[in-house]
Amino acid sequence: MTRHPVKKSLSLVSIKAPKRDAASDNATIETLVKDILSDVRQRGDEAVRHYSERFDGAKLERFEVSEAEKKSALDALDPQTRADTEFAIENVRKFAEAQKATILPLEIESLPGLHLGHRVIPIETVGCYVPGGRYPILSAPVMTLVPAKVAGCDHIIACLPPNAHPAMIAGCHLSGADQIFRVGGAQAIAAMAYGTESIPAADKIVGPGNAYVNEAKRQVFGLVGIDQLAGPSEIFTLADETGNPEMIAVDLLAQAEHDVRTRVGLITTDRALAEATLKEIERQLVNLSTADVAGAAWRDYGEITVVPDEDTMARSLLARSQALSILTNVAGPITPYPQWQQDVIPEAYGSVHI
C-alpha cells in the first residue's frame, strides 16, 4: 500500500493531545541504555547484579531459576490459571505449527548448473524477554517461547524481572524455556546479547518490554537479531459513531497501565464519541487500582482526535501503533472489508482487532 499522509488541516480536531513527546523523551533513555550495555559487556554478571539492585531493588547472587523453584512455582499455580495457560499454549502451538508448514525450503536451477534457493534453519539460541515486573502478564511467555519451541530452536532462554510473580516462572516453564533467569530491563537484553558468566549469548532476542528494553534491543541489533521494536505497549482505536465509549476507555486504560510511557489513543469520525470517551476515561481513573501508572501514561501520552471521514482515519499517520482496534459499523458480510479498512490493515501493526 502506498501511504498518503494526512496534511495538517483544521478538519483534524484534537480533543485530547499528549503533553509529552515520546521521541524527545527517548534521548535520556538512549544515553542510559548505552551505558548499561557497555557496562554489562565489560563486567558481565557483576554489572547485571548492580543494575538489578539499582532498578529493581533485587540483590541477586544467582540469576538462574532452579529446578526446585520451577516446581514450587508450578505447585503454587492456581488450577484454573494452569488450565488456562495450557489451553493458550496449545492454541499458540497449533497456529505456530500451521505457520511453519507454510515456510518451505526452495531450490531452483535458474540456468544449467546454477542452483538458487533457501533453506529453513531454526535459530540455535534464542533469548525471550518476558515482561511482567509491574503485573503478571501470563500471555507474555506463551507468545514468544512456544513459537521458538515449534521452530525447533536448540536452546531457549527466558529473562524476566526479578520481582515477577511466580506464575510467570511457571508460565515460562510450561511454555518450553530451557533456562529461566531473574534479570529484567536493559541489563537483561545486554546479557542475552553479549553473554555473561551465567547467561549464555543468544543469536536472536525477541519479546516486548518497556522503553528501556525497547531501546536496548534497538542498540544491540546487528550483533544479534531482534524481532521488532514493540514496546512500551500501545494501542490505537479507530471508531465511528457506533463505538462504545465505556469499552473504548477500558481498552485504552488496560494498555496504559502497562507503563507510564505507554502511548494510547482514539481516532474517530464522531465528536460526541470522542468527548464521551474522554469523560469515561477520567471517570474510570478515579477508582482504577492501577491509576498511578495508567493515569500518568494517559496524561502524558494519551490522545483523542476527530477526523472528518473514514478515509482520513485510515490514512492518518497518527494511527501507527503496536496494536490496532477497529470499531466501526460494517454493512453486509465482514469479508471483504470496506476499502478504508483494506487500506489500513496491511500496515505494520503487531495485531489488528476488528
Question: Taking the model in full, what pTM does it have?
Answer: 0.80
Grid coordinates representing 19 are 503533553
Cα-based torsion angle of the residue sequence 321, 326, 327, 329 in order, rounded to the nearest 10 degrees: 150
Q: How confident is the model at residue 329 (pLDDT cuts 50, 70, 90)?
A: low
Nearest-CA neighbor of 37 among 222, 149, 185, 180? 185
| Proportion of the chain above pLDDT 70, given as a percent | 84
Lowest-pLDDT choice from 137-151, 296-310, 327-341 = 327-341
When comparing pLDDT for 348 and 203, which is higher?
A: 203
pLDDT tens digits for range 93-125:
999 999 999 999 999 999 999 999 999 999 999
pLDDT tens digits for range 222-269:
999 999 887 555 778 888 899 999 999 999 999 898 888 888 999 999
Q: Which domains does the chain have, with CATH numbers?
A: 22-95+126-228 (3.40.50.1980), 232-353 (3.40.50.1980)
The answer to whether residues 170 and 16 touch, using CB atoms and an 8 Å cutoff, is no
Grid coordinates representing 24 are 524527545
Dihedral sign of CA atoms 297, 349, 157, 44 in order: negative
Q: How many residues does the chain have?
A: 354
pLDDT at position 238: 86
pLDDT tens digits for range 46-93:
999 999 999 999 999 899 999 999 999 999 999 999 999 999 999 999
pLDDT at position 335: 43
Between CA 120 and CA 115 the distance in angstroms is 16
Say which amino acid occupies 260: V
Residue 10 has pLDDT above 50, yes or no: no
Grid coordinates representing 303 are 490522545
* 68-86 CB burial, b ≥16 within 10 A, e <16: ebbeebbeebeeeeeeebe
Between CA 236 and CA 295 the distance in angstroms is 17
Q: How confident is the model at residue 348 (pLDDT cuts 50, 70, 90)?
A: very low
Q: Which helix H or strand E contains 340, and what residues bound it?
A: helix 339-344
pLDDT at position 353: 54
